């Protein structure tokens, strides 16, 4: 019999997946006239502006932080929220959200395997079949992307463009492992999220300052700024659902559900985005469906 906490985690993870997909499409719209740097900065600031005050008030004065959990959530922020987000947004700008999402979805495979190796979670034969389906679906997405090259990119540029979302997958795949270490210390999910978001924002801010490229007030002007703020709010909703789900269910249950944002991205891109920004084909639909089928297999036997 499935535990009630696992059912709640599935619902939260599904909501997080929809929020994540919507956020990615907002980033795509915003970077059409804005920059990836501004998108990362605004989304990160919105995360902190929402999560930090809520966590500070809700858990005052005992935040449940230990040295281990603080470091764990900070590392999760640098890997998943800063590096993973930066590579994800760059990829969205270069090859589109509907092609980026399925490739980045391979982070669930990475986190599932890492969960088995470092957290003692189980991996069955059915999990293996699901993983194979996800890998095949992602490979087809990469092949379709390489054959749809309207901007006439060189082979090297195209290869780099495809490697960027894989890099994001590796960075994001490590995040739930460190998050679970923090949860094991008894730190509440909201507090962990706040630490993670602050670490990522500070890290990116220090990078921009070192590069002498801190954005001014102009970053909040124009249509693209509104898309970035909306992306930030949706991303915050994603983080909340994702982290609460991780705190009550294993990585190999939560991670595959969140990966269904792949299908949400493809469907929403086909429905609301112009072909100039997102070219969604039947082949892409089919490949995304294969990815989701693998995710469902992994989840059903999690």
pLDDT value of residue 175: 83
pLDDT value of residue 217: 65
Phi/psi at 121 (nearest 5 deg)?
-80, 165
First to last CA, the chain: 12
| Its pTM surpasses 0.95 | no
The H or E element spanning position 109 is helix 107-119
What distance lies between CA 160 and its chain's CA centroid? 20
Q: Total structural domains in the chain?
A: 1
CA dist., res. 65 & res. 57, Å (int): 15
pLDDT value of residue 74: 95
Contacts of 277 (CB under 8 A, 6+ apart): 28, 29, 32, 96
pLDDT value of residue 1: 43
Query: Quick one: angle between helices 107-119 and 155-184, nearest 10?
Result: 40
Q: Which domain holds residue 78?
A: 1-301
Mean pLDDT by runs of 10 across the 302 residues of the chain is 72 91 91 85 93 92 92 93 90 80 77 74 76 79 64 63 84 84 89 93 90 70 83 93 82 74 82 71 78 70 59
Percent of the chain with pLDDT over 70: 84
pLDDT value of residue 291: 75
Both structure tokens of 109: 């495979």
DSSP 56-84: HHHT-S-----HHHHHHHHHHIIIIIIII
Residues 97 and 24: beta-carbon distance below 8 Å:
yes
């Amino acid at each position: 019999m499935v535990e009630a906490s696992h059912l709640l985690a599935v619902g939260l993870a599904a909501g997080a997946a929809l929020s994540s997909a919507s956020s990615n499409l907002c980033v795509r719209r915003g970077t059409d006239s804005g920059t990836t740097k501004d998108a990362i900065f605004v989304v990160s600031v919105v995360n902190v502006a929402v999560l930090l005050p809520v966590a500070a008030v809700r858990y005052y004065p005992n935040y449940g932080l230990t040295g281990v959990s603080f470091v764990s959530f900070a590392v999760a922020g640098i890997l998943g929220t800063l590096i993973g987000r930066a590579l994800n947004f760059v990829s969205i700008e270069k090859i589109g959200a509907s092609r980026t999402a399925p490739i980045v979805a391979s982070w669930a495979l990475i986190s599932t395997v890492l969960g088995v190796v470092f957290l003692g979670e189980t991996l069955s034969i059915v999990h293996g079949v699901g993983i194979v389906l996800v890998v095949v679906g992602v490979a087809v997405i990469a092949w379709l992307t390489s054959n749809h090259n309207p901007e006439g990119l060189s082979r090297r540029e195209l290869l780099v463009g495809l490697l960027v979302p894989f890099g994001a997958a590796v960075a994001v795949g490590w995040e739930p492992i460190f998050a679970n270490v923090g949860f094991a210390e008894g730190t509440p999910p909201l507090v962990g999220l706040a630490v993670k978001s602050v670490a990522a924002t500070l890290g990116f801010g220090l990078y921009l300052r070192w590069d002498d490229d801190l954005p001014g007030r102009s970053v909040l002007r124009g249509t693209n700024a509104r898309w970035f703020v909306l992306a930030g709010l949706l991303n915050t909703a994603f983080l909340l659902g994702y982290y609460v789900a991780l705190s009550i269910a294993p990585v190999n249950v939560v991670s595959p559900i969140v990966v269904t944002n792949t299908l949400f991205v493809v469907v929403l891109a086909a429905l609301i985005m112009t072909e100039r920004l997102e070219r969604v084909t039947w082949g892409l639909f089919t490949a995304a469906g294969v990815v989701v089928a693998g995710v469902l297999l992994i989840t059903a036997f999690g």
